[in-house]
């Protein structure tokens, strides 16, 4: 059967073409040859079909533009004016193609139906690419001319429809300029966007450059992008053998190899491919968006704009951003004529204009993109060269590093103006306490600037950010805050999701690292802006709840003055001093000790004493073991004694009781509990009867305590007996008890004031033990015969006591015991 002949030879011809070029070299010229082969086949088929009268065979879409890809459909429009006989003609044309296994997309319409079909934008634009292949020329013109005229009637309206459709495609297919597995046809910046420039030209009825809609350089950039995209998409289709448009990860190594990319230092071949692709697709996005906006605005006047220097470039772009405009052709031409040194020497004007752009949010970021497309952004910020179009391969990020940075900065600007997430009370509170918004914008812009393909991005980024800000002339507190934000931008999310937020020392450490509430607020806002710019998976309600908890708790640490810049500095200094004093011990053991003891211990206990405690605390403790060490105290006649034992309910009361029985008065006490529940209790004491406390008396004390812990003696009776030998104060001062639940995050604080007497501390702490409360931290002091104590207590589950009945019980029990 001879009519299958042309289709079969087309198939053979297409296969020969496939083999004629290596993968990755099927560019526009090959696509044109492919279209020409199809043309020839169709002409022959049309003749075989008897060249039906009043029928026109029109190539549409990519085929119409002579861009026919290896596995793309052959898009055909059959125009006719005789519905009765057309079916037979169409069958004669299409069956041979189908039989030969070729994919054909076809429409059969009368001229009137063609005009009606313009209601659907994709049908309309396909026809705008229409090209007569065979048949009745007059009929084809009659069908296509009104379709073009309709676009010309209202070019601005047509441009708006293109813009809306591009937005919808972007929502559905994402951006070819950012996605790691981009759709090369439908994605934003893909081949459909390239084609839309042609449709715009048709709508204007004149060449886009002549119309002042696209500049020569822009046109050249899009042509280069089209060539690259055609090669890439052809390679995808040749590799899969299907009409595939998505450059998925599995195909990237082969496509990269085919297109001539090789591994380079800090850039894999596949990343090189993606980087080049992103670069091209971004040019397309950029030029098409500008062209569409210019046609919509009707602002096709090239005009003359004068721009004198780099600062003026930024000012002009900031002006345009403030007015909500895209930069005009005239402006960009003028910008291109400005000699921009590499790198730019920043001055106040440059900096002010740059900050204006940052504050303008999304519109400002778009202007940075304009600068970048012109190759100028990296002259202002040399570090930008390292992150431009750099792909990020992780489960969260969906954009390139530079696009992510611009998006984060834009989001930060939104947050700072209060147009972020209205449902987040932390955000509003953080914003309202800010003093240095510009530092936050700069921090957001630079937070990932260290992602340059080598080493840990945070330390690298911190150095780059500092140098960049230096060059920009950002100094003092603004620079410090911005650098801090870059350095610590992962602290909140990482800590919140991986660490125990009910660990008091963790909160103190985080607070010490952050230092001030303003920095905390800044980090929170950056975490949100970063997550927003990253993608939907980066900020789930789950993560938000955890980050909120951390931020609120650290803020309360600041509010209560438990940590701040001064205390953090003191903590660092004391810890360092302790390390020096312990020189010679293994680093491992020193660090373990520092991590074990609470921060309150390091802040309260002199490093010299802590170094002595190290030797007592470090060797493993037996279950009932008690270790004590006594030294001469700071005042004459006083001693300092430390008691180390496994913590258990009642321990403090037993120690206090054992001291009382030994005739030892407690002047001051501090009780600490380590992470692994070892009690380190430090007492300042003096002899009650005899001032000198001999080793024999210490031994007696240790023995009493050990036997109490072992349960072999009861202290109560003995302490009471001992009390009888001591004079009671003549004028008893009143007992005061205050229960405070808002001064510590994880403990209820109980303040007790009472006249001093033997066994007093024992009585107080015994009361806690009776009520099953553990003493986590205690501060005991004696002034002039009166004891003022603060106890940080927790219930059996390690929680604050919140039940009001229990709180009342504690107070009543203490009063009863102390007033008796």
Q: Which residues bind other proteins (CB under 8 A)?
A: 425-426, 428-430, 432-433, 497-502, 517, 521, 540-543, 545-546, 548-549, 551-552, 555-556, 797-799
Q: Single out the residue of 195, 121, 203, 133 nearest to residue 161, CA to CA.
A: 121
Q: Would you say 339 or 541 has its CB closer to other proteins?
A: 541
Which residue's entry shows tokens 């009650």? 688
Shortest spacing between CB 548 and other proteins, in angstroms: 7
C-beta of 306 vs 545, nearer to other proteins: 545
Question: Residue 364 or residue 774: which is nearer to other proteins going by CB?
Answer: 774
Nearest distance from C-beta of residue 744 to other proteins, angstroms: 15
* Cβ at position 711, least distance to other proteins in Å: 23
**552 three-state secondary structure:** helix
To the nearest whole angstrom, how small is the minimum distance from the Cβ of residue 30 to other proteins? 39
Distance, in Å, from the CA atom of 541 to the CA atom of 524, rounded to the nearest integer, reads 15
- Of 192 and 553, the one with the shorter C-beta distance to other proteins is 553
List residues bridging with 59 in a β-sheet. 76, 131
| Closest listed residue to residue 360, CA positions, set 313, 436, 405, 416 | 416
Q: Which is nearer to other proteins, 552 or 790 (CB)?
A: 552
The encoded tokens of residue 646 equal: 């496994």
The two beta strands, 664-673 and 678-687, are antiparallel
Q: What DSSP state is assigned to residue 188?
A: B
Nearer Cβ to other proteins, position 17 or 743?
743
CB burial class (10 A; 0-12, 13-18, 19+) of residue 281?
Answer: buried
Looking at the Cβ atoms of 583 and 796, the one nearer to other proteins is 796
Smallest separation, CB 370 to other proteins (Å)? 38
Residue whose CB is less far from other proteins, 131 or 556: 556
CA angle 799, 805, 809 (to 5 degrees): 90
State how far the Cα of 69 lies from the Cα of 16, in Å rounded to an integer.
14
User: Which of 188, 748 has the CB closer to other proteins?
Assistant: 748
Report the relative pairing of strands 664-673 and 626-632 from DSSP bridges.
Answer: unpaired
End-to-end CA distance of the chain: 119
Nearer Cβ to other proteins (112/500) = 500
Q: Considering the complex, what minimum distance in angstroms separates the CB of residue 561 from other proteins?
A: 15
Contact 578, 597 (CB under 8 A): no
Nearest residue (CB) to other proteins, 32 versus 548? 548
Q: Decide the pairing of beta strands 786-794 and 748-755.
A: antiparallel
**What is the closest distance, in whole angstroms, from the C-beta atom of residue 210 to other proteins in the complex?**
57
Residue 792 CB, shortest distance to other proteins, in Å, is 16
- Angle, alpha carbons 68-148-138 (nearest 5°): 85
Q: Distance of CA 38 to CAs 18, 237, 504, Å? A: 14, 18, 75
Nearer residue to other proteins within complex by CB, 4 or 646 = 646
Q: For residue 266, give the 3-state DSSP assignment.
A: coil
Phi-psi region of 303 (alpha: psi -120 to 50; beta: other; left: phi over 0): left
When the beta carbons of 144 and 501 are compared against other proteins, the nearer one is: 501
CA distance 138 to 142: 6
Q: Three-state DSSP class for 611?
A: helix
CA–CA separation, 150 vs 162, rounded Å?
14
670 versus 674: smaller Cβ distance to other proteins: 674
Q: 753-762: string of b/e by CB count within 10 Å (b at 16+)?
A: bbbbbbbbbb
Residue 494 or 710: the one with the smaller Cβ distance to other proteins is 494
- Least distance CB 767 / other proteins (angstroms): 24
CA dihedral 764, 766, 772, 776 (to 10 degrees): 60
What's the closest the beta carbon of residue 554 comes to other proteins, in angstroms? 9
Q: The dihedral of CA 736, 738, 743, 744: what is its sign?
A: positive
SS3 535: coil
- Rounded CA separation 147/155 (Å): 13
Residue 10, phi-psi category: left (phi > 0), alpha (psi -120 to 50), beta (remainder): alpha
The Cβ-side half-sphere exposure at 297, using a 13 Å CA radius, reads: 17
Min CB(722)–other proteins separation in Å: 36
Cβ 742 to other proteins, closest distance in Å? 10
How many CB atoms sit inside 10 A of residue 199's CB? Answer: 21
Closer CB to other proteins, residue 419 or residue 502? Answer: 502
Separation between Cα atoms, residue 520 and residue 499, nearest integer Å: 17
* Phi, psi at 627, each rounded to 5°: -120, 135
Least separation in angstroms between residue 740's CB and other proteins is 16
Q: Shortest distance, CB of residue 545 to other proteins, whole angstroms?
A: 5
């Amino acid at each position: 059967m001879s009519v299958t002949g042309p289709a079969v030879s087309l198939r053979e011809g297409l296969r020969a073409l496939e083999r004629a070029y290596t993968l990755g070299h099927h560019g526009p010229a090959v696509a044109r040859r492919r279209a020409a082969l199809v043309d020839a086949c169709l002409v022959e088929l049309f003749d075989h079909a008897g060249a039906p009268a009043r029928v026109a065979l029109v190539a549409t879409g990519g085929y119409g533009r002579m861009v026919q890809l290896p596995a793309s459909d052959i898009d055909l429009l059959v125009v006719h004016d005789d519905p009765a006989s057309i079916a037979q003609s169409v069958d004669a044309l299409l069956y041979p193609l189908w039989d030969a296994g070729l994919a054909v997309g076809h429409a059969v319409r009368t001229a009137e139906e063609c005009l009606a079909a313009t209601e659907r934008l994709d049908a309309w634009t396909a026809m705008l690419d229409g090209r007569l292949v065979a048949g009745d020329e007059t009929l084809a013109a009659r069908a296509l001319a009104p379709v073009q005229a309709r676009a010309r009637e209202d070019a601005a309206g047509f441009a708006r429809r293109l813009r809306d459709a591009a937005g919808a495609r972007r929502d559905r297919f994402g951006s070819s300029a950012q996605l790691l597995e981009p759709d090369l046809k439908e994605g934003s910046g893909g081949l459909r966007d390239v084609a839309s420039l042609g449709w715009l030209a048709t709508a204007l009825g004149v060449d886009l450059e002549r119309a002042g809609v696209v500049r020569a350089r822009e046109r050249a950039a899009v042509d280069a992008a089209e060539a690259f995209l055609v090669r890439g998409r052809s390679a995808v289709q040749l590799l899969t053998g299907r009409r595939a448009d998505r450059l998925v990860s599995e195909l990237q190594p082969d496509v990269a190899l085919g297109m001539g990319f090789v591994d380079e230092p800090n850039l894999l071949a596949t990343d090189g491919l993606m980087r080049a692709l992103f670069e091209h697709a971004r040019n397309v996005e950029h030029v098409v968006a500008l062209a569409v906006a210019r046609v919509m605005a009707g602002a096709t006047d090239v005009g003359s704009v004068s721009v004198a220097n780099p600062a003026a470039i930024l000012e002009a772009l900031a002006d345009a951003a403030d007015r909500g405009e895209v930069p005009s052709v005239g402006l960009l031409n003028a910008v291109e004529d400005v000699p921009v040194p590499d790198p730019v020497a920043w001055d106040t004007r440059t900096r002010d204009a740059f900050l204006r752009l940052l504050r303008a949010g999304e519109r400002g970021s778009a202007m940075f993109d304009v600068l970048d497309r012109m190759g100028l952004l990296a002259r202002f910020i040399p570090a930008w060269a390292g992150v431009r179009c750099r792909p990020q391969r992780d489960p969260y990020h969906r954009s390139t590093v530079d696009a992510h940075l611009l998006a984060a900065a834009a989001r930060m600007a939104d947050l700072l103006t209060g147009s972020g997430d209205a449902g987040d009370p932390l955000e509003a509170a953080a914003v309202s306490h800010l003093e240095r918004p510009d530092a936050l914008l700069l921090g957001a812009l630079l937070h990932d600037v260290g992602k340059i393909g080598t080493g840990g991005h945070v330390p690298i980024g911190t150095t780059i950010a500092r140098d960049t800000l230096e060059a920009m002339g950002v100094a003092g507190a603004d620079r410090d805050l911005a650098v801090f934000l870059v350095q610590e931008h992962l602290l909140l999310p990482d800590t919140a999701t991986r660490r125990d937020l009910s660990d008091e020392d963790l909160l103190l450490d985080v607070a010490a690292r952050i230092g001030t509430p303003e920095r905390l607020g800044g980090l929170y806002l950056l975490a949100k802006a970063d997550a927003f710019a990253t993608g939907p998976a980066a900020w789930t309600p789950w993560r938000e709840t955890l980050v909120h908890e951390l931020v609120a708790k650290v803020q309360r640490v600041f509010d209560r003055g438990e940590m701040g810049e001064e205390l953090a500095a003191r903590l660092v200094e004391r810890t360092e001093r302790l390390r020096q004093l312990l020189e010679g011990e293994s680093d491992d053991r020193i660090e373990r000790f520092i991590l074990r003891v609470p921060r309150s211990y390091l802040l309260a206990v002199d490093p010299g004493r802590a170094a002595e405690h190290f030797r007592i605390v470090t060797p493993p403790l037996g279950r009932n073991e008690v270790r004590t060490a006594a030294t001469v105290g700071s005042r004459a006649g006083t001693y300092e004694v430390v008691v180390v034992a496994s913590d258990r309910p009642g321990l403090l009361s037993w120690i206090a009781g054992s001291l009382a029985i030994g005739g030892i008065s407690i002047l001051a006490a501090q009780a600490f509990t380590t992470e692994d529940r070892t009690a380190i209790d430090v007492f300042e004491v003096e002899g009650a009867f005899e001032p000198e406390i001999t080793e024999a008396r210490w031994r007696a004390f240790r023995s009493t305590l050990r036997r109490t812990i072992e349960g072999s003696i009861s202290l109560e009776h003995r302490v009471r007996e001992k009390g009888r030998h001591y004079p009671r104060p003549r004028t008893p001062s009143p007992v005061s008890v205050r229960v405070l639940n808002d001064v510590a995050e994880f403990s209820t604080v109980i303040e007790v004031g009472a006249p001093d007497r033997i066994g007093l501390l024992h009585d107080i702490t015994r009361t806690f033990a009776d009520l099953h409360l553990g003493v986590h931290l205690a501060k005991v002091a004696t002034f002039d015969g009166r004891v003022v104590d603060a106890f940080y207590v927790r219930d059996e589950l390690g929680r604050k006591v919140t039940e009001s009945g229990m709180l009342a019980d504690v107070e009543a029990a203490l009063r009863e015991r102390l007033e008796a």
